[in-house]
């Protein structure tokens, strides 16, 4: 693969627009969406993005297990409750 540092963009969870953040943000710095009034502190934004990533990963794993279970007589996979949470900030994955 490449040696590039992965840089995942945080996007607005309300409208999907780009987010303005300082170059070297502090947790208390304010970040805001360029397209809508959505804003938060950098810390809040990162917490939201983390939670979103966690949910995203869980959904992916869920799908993988389901696929495996489909072709097996002895694996019975039951997925857990889906999160229906809405995120104020999401990641461009």
Minimum distance of Zn ion from residue 37's CB (angstroms)? 8
Long-range contacts for 66-71 (Cβ within 8 Å, ≥24 apart)? none
Among 10, 11, 31, 33, binds Zn ion (CB under 5 A): 33
Stretch (H or E) spanning 41:
strand 39-41
Tell me whether residue 12 or residue 45 sits nearer to Zn ion (CB atom).
12
Among 22, 27, 29, 36, binds Zn ion (CB under 5 A): 36
Q: How far apart are CA 93 and CA 85, in angstroms?
A: 18
38 in contact with Zn ion (CB under 5 A): yes
Tell me whether residue 35 or residue 64 sits nearer to Zn ion (CB atom).
35
**At CA 46, angle to CA 42 and CA 48, rounded to 5?**
120
Residue numbers 54-83 binding Zn ion by CB under 5 A: none
35 in contact with Zn ion (CB under 5 A): yes
Measured CA to CA in angstroms, residue 32 lies from 25, 35, 66, 85 at distances of 13, 9, 38, 20
Residues that bind Zn ion (CB under 5 A): 12, 14-15, 17, 33, 35-36, 38
């Amino acid at each position: 693969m490449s040696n590039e540092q992965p840089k995942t963009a945080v996007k607005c969870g309300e409208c999907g627009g780009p987010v303005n953040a300082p170059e070297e943000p502090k947790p208390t710095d304010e970040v805001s969406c360029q397209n809508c009034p959505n804003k938060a502190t950098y810390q809040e934004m990162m917490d939201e993005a983390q939670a979103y990533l966690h949910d995203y990963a869980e959904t992916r794993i869920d799908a993988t297990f389901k696929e495996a279970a489909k072709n097996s007589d002895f694996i019975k996979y039951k997925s857990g409750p889906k999160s229906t949470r809405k995120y104020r900030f999401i990641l461009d994955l």
